[in-house]
Structure 1
Amino acid sequence: MPMEELCKNPIKAHPVKMTFLVLVLAAAAAALMGEVEGRKVRILEDNGIEYGAISCRAHTASITDFGGVGDGETSNTKAFKAAVERLSQYAGDGGAQLYVPAGRWLTGSFNLTSHFTLFLHQDAVLLASQDLNEWPVIEPLPSYGHGRDTSGGRYISLIFGTNLTDVVITGNNGTIDGQGDRWWQLFHQNKLKYTRPYLIEIMYSSGIQISNLTLLNSPAWNVHPVYSSNVLIQGITIIAPVRSPNTDGINPDSCTNVRIEDCYIISGDDCVAVKSGWDEYGIRFGWPTKQLVIRRLTCVSPTSAVIALGSEMSGGIEDVRAEDIVAVDSESGVRIKTGIGRGGYVKDIYVRRMTMHTMKWAFWMTGDYGSHADENYDPHALPVIQGINYRDMVVENATMAARLEGISGDTFTGICISNVTISLAAKAKKQPWTCTDVEGITSNVTPPPCSLLPDQGAEKITTCRFPEDNIPIDAVELKKCSYQFSHA
């Protein structure tokens, strides 16, 4: 994708300073040229590709073997469905990979199978169909009990899978284009019958890799692993206009043991939104998100957060470790979103080495988010927010340092902020910190924090905790896999 096209929508929609432009172009260039270790795909001399994956496959096929046509006009939905069905027979015999060569491959939704790899050539583009008949409608998620756009069901995601084991969706930076503009218009016009589809959703699954792809213009969320474990998301570039509705980047939802790294996200909503169910449905389902690593993330999101915890967090969120994050022109760096009726908890959150440029707030905690699934939520279901650790950060051009709002009678506790320098914008708010119903400590923080977060002083320097042990997903190493081109 040409660099000028990459930047056209975000920059025209939200003019910013040269610092923003330089950093975004640098991040995008690194993503597109494969400079990150996780993105390396080697072109072999004998007309093939070598790439890293959690599993290699014994059998291979091309979408053209199943009648696929990459002209950007012919529907390939039947071809993709036929390919996956045929290749599923090799699940017990070393698995199979489906290769998508250069071309523009128009398709509606299709499901994946276990022990399977979907590989996109660098010049392959999957184009999401504009025909609503190619998007089946499924029930709302049980932990949500309600569609997010409407009260009914939801359109199935473009690439979908449930109850799977050992699945790889990768490429040498091939593209998946959700062509979301029509969906955004239907949303704004209040004409949707069902909740908009996502680009990639994997449910009730384990051993999932999503890597080395560019995702464009999703109708709503981009990547949604839900009720799953052992998930690796690596080397993904996500781009949508910064005013597009709910185009979250990556949303781990009721998942365990997840690693998100080396990703670049420009979106109209949170870059990474950690979730675990909505109000009474999430409380009843009771499936938390835990053991989550986020590292080396670059984010641009003028209306939302770089990392959001919630607002749907009723099943609980714990042990989230984020480090080496760059935020540019975003509303908030880290945001906790909850409210009365959510229940659940957000605890043991660790963030370090974060750099932020042009922010509304560096930190934001909201105990009055609202946005309930329906009127049946329990007004006595109060969330527990505790053990929130931020350290080693530099923030430039911030309108406010922090807005920390707990819930009366339900104080957010155990907040620790250390070694953080926040430079305020020329037109910054007179009061850099606002704090209500929170408890914690700070150390070596500029500007001086609110009285509810007392500084420990020069004689008692505190370094907020960050775990030094590894979670199991960190031990996952990629194997060297290959594909030999037999199709142009």
Structure 2
Amino acid sequence: MMRFSSLLPGALLALAAWQANPSAAQSGRPAPSQPAPLTLPAVRQVRFKADTFNIQKYGAVADGQTLNTQAFHKAIMACTQAGGGTVLVPAGLWLTGPIVLQNNVNLHLATGALVQFTADHLQYPLVKTTWEGEEAIRSQAPISGVGLVNIAITGNGTFDGAGDSWRPVKKSKLNEGEWKKLLATGGVLNEKKDSWYPSASSLKGNMLAAAGTPRKSLDPTAFDDIRDFLRPNMLSLTDCKQILLEGFTIQNSPAWTIHPLLCQDITVRRVTARNPWYGQNTDAIDVESCRNGVLDDCVFSVGDDGLCIKSGRDEEGRKRGVPTENFLIQNCKVYSAHGGFVIGSEMSGGVRNMVVRNCTFQGTDVGLRFKTARGRGGMVENIWVDGITMTDIAGQAILFDMYYAAKDPVPQPGESTAPPVIAAQPLNEGTPQFQHFYIKNVVCKGAETGILVRGLPEMSIKDISLENVVIESQKGMVCQEAENIRLRNVTLLTKETRPVLEVQNSKNISLDGIRYTSGADLLLRVSGDRSQDIRLTNTNTKLAKKGLELGDKVGKKVVQVAAK
């Protein structure tokens, strides 16, 4: 087997930049011109008056027992009415209900400050908001702001959302001791005894949703009997401009942790988000239908996706029609999460102009995760990724999936692992599109599958460039229903070697300078009667026992091999 360590320097130092001609060995085909890297607009920054409003002066008590909701409200209102400034939360344990931000307020948590949100769900009124990209009734977020300008949350303190009192837990995600400890806290089980719910109200709401009969009303009074099911996102900012989130830790969220929606000019810097790895729906940050922002030097370890980009779901998202665009995401670390950097699956308003660089994913289920499904619609395009390091990825290191089935990316015990059977359907407004992804300088040590590209028969995934990539994984690459895919200087060190590369019903696929495990049983298999123009160049096919295998309906001229 080729040594992983010996390939790392070459992969990282092969600085053939984006603008380099990528196709000198494409059998005389002219290379398509590659666009220049994105120039993103500047992000407008916050600015505050020097005045400080200490919550203690408004009656707050740091005893962990006194409910300080009104003290937070009075301090924030005094600050905004005075023209803005800083609302100071000193060191101490501050129990509170929901905090509502206001214009020109910087909520600052001093070092040693712990803001503990109450587990009394009656303190969180049912409100009209959104859930996973659609209008919904949910419990009010622990921290929220609507229609604000020039707001910030800063400091080195911590927010705790009491999420354990809201979230259901699957038995399969805990060991026996953890499960017994959870049962001792109370709550109820479902009929199968394989899922725990914090209350009968939570169980009832989850069962309605699982049966496909969720309540569609937008009248809060229609939901009192399932209040505990309506878990809030922890930090919810809607239609706000000039936002700074910096320095703090936010943890134990009931659902999504940080959720800016329809916001503009967002800076998120040195924020830590922590949730249990088994915590359902506890994404670290979901940037939805937002414009212009920077996410820098953050650390996330959560129970769902890490750095996640969204833009609404299905018909409602398309009707809203607001893409997430113009974001720089850099220097971030993601540990436990379903995905490191993720787009979708709620991306019906579109996503464009993303630059992701110098990020590390360790122990996530998927590394780079781009997901959608029929019915979403929307266009995802112009995504630039440069400098990603990954270790111990449980699923795919790099995943493009237009057939997202809303399941955990790593199957739970007893779940089927068989790939879905995909039949073509007519094109319509709900047909999603992925195109123009440029990914380079990626190193992954340990994954189940290196690269999975899975489009739809009626809509291929298009125009993906993967360059200077080294992946050590169980399986290599699977490419289904794709078009204009280019791998250049890609190394796949796989344990399963029949085949290393699999291409199905795809066309215009360039595999240039592929390195792989010496002694592989089969390097490349091409199948599907719609496969066309597959090129394998600058690759030593003699290292494999068999270089090429064609499916029954694949003609010999479909694949061109120009070995070095």
TM superposition score category, shorter chain reference: 0.7 to 0.9
Equivalent residues in 2 for 1:75-474, closer than 5 Å:
75-91=67-83, 95-141=84-130, 144-147=133-136, 153-171=137-155, 173-185=156-168, 188-189=196-197, 190-192=203-205, 193=226, 194-301=229-336, 304-359=338-393, 360-370=395-405, 380-424=429-473, 428-429=474-475, 432-439=476-483, 440-447=485-492, 449-451=501-503, 452=506, 453-457=509-513
Deviations, residues 413-432 of structure 1 (Å, cap 9, x unaligned): 001100001112xxx24xx2
Which residue of 30, 45, 48 maps to 1:56? 48
2:420 matched to which residue of 1?
none
- Deviation string 1:145-183 (CA, Å, 9 cap, x unpaired) is 344xxxxx0112111101111001001x10001121111
Give the whole-Å Cα distance in 2 for the aligned partners of 1:202 and 1:351: 27
In the superposition, relative to structure 1, how do residues 200 and 368 fare at CA in structure 2: closer, same or farther (>3 Å)? same
In 1, Cα distance between equivalents of 2:131 and 2:346 = 13
One-letter code aligned to 2:266: V
Give 1:411 shift. 0.5
Q: Distance in 2 between matches of 1:224 and 1:274?
A: 10
How far residue 403 of structure 1 moved from its aligned partner, in angstroms, is 1.7
Alignment of 1:62-81 (within 5 A): 62-81=54-73
CA distance in 2, matches of 1:379, 1:108: 45
The question of whether the paired residues in 1 share the 8 Å contact of 2:132 and 2:346 is answered with: no
Shift of 1:140: 3.2
* Secondary structure of the corresponding residue to residue 293 of structure 1: strand
Deviations 1:63-91 (A, max 9, x none): 00110011111101111112222222122
2:511–2:537 CA contact under 8 A, matched in 1: no
For 2:46 and 2:80, the matched residues in 1 are separated by 18
Cα distance in 1 for residues equivalent to 2:392 and 2:109? 35
Residues 84-141 of structure 1, C-alpha deviations (whole Å, 9 max, x = no match): 22222122xxx22110001111111121111111000110000011111211211133
Q: Residues of 1 paired with 2:343 and 2:108: CA distance?
A: 31
Residue 356 of structure 1 aligns with an amino acid whose one-letter code is M
SS at match of 1:119: strand
Task: Give the greater-gyration-radius structure (CA).
Answer: 2
CA offset at residue 379 of structure 1?
6.5
How far is the alpha carbon of 1:367 from its aligned partner? 1.2
What amino acid is the match of 1:166? Answer: N
Residues 460 and 228 of structure 1: CA distance in aligned 2, closer, same or farther (over 3 Å): farther
Measure how far apart 1:370 and its partner are: 4.5
* Residue pair 1:256, 1:291 contacting (<8 A) in 2 also: yes
Q: Secondary structure at the match of 1:277?
A: coil
Residues 188-213 of structure 1, C-alpha deviations (whole Å, 9 max, x = no match): 53345253112211110110000100
CA contact (8 A) 2:368 2:399 kept: yes
Distance 1:393 1:214 in 2: 28
How much does 1:443 deviate?
0.2
**Structure 2: which 5+ residue stretches go unaligned?**
1-44, 169-186, 188-194, 198-202, 206-225, 408-426, 493-499, 515-535, 539-564
Instruction: Spell out, residue by residue over 1:22-50, the C-alpha distance to the aligned partner (whole angstroms, 9 max, x if none).
Output: xxxxxxxxxxxxxxxxxxxxxxxxxxxxx
Using the size of structure 1 for normalisation, the TM-score is 0.76
Is the 8 Å Cα contact of residues 101 and 124 (structure 1) preserved in structure 2? yes
User: Separation in 2 of the partners of 1:163 and 1:233?
Assistant: 19
Cα distance per residue 1:234-255 (max 9 Å; x no partner)? 0011111111111111111100
- For the 8 Å contact 1:142–1:281, the answer to whether it is kept is no
| Residues 116, 160 of structure 2: 8 Å contact kept | yes
| Inter-partner Cα distance in structure 2 for 1:438 and 1:335 | 16
**2:167 counterpart SS class:** helix
Report sequence identity in percent. 31
The residue type equivalent to 2:319 in the other structure is R
Distance in 2, matches of 1:142 and 1:154, equals 8
**What residue identity is the alignment partner of 2:309?**
V
TM-score by length of 2: 0.66
**Shift in Å at residue 460 of structure 1?**
8.8
The CA deviation at 1:285 is 0.7
- Say if 2:490 and 2:513, in contact at 8 Å, map to a contact too: no
Cα pair 1:340 1:370 within 8 Å, conserved: no
Aligned partners of 2:439, 2:281: CA distance in 1, in Å?
26
| Conserved 8 A contact 2:335-2:361 | yes
Cα gap change, 1:353 to 1:216, in 2 (>3 Å): same
Offset at 1:56?
3.1
Residues 413 and 188 from structure 1, CA distance in 2 versus in 1: closer, same or farther, beyond 3 angstroms? Answer: farther
What letter matches 1:65 in structure 2? K
Q: Hey, what's the Cα distance between the residues in 2 that align with 1:191 and 1:63?
A: 39
CA contact (8 A) 1:143 1:281 kept: no
How far off is 1:55 after superposition?
A: 1.6
The AA in structure 2 aligned to 1:407 is: L
Greater relative contact order (Cα 8 A, min sep 6): structure 1 or 2?
Answer: 1
The Cα shift of 1:54 comes to 3.2
Answer yes or no: is the 8 Å Cα contact 1:96–1:116 preserved in 2. yes
Shift of 1:456: 3.1
Aligned-CA RMSD value: 2.2
CA contact (8 A) 1:143 1:285 kept: no
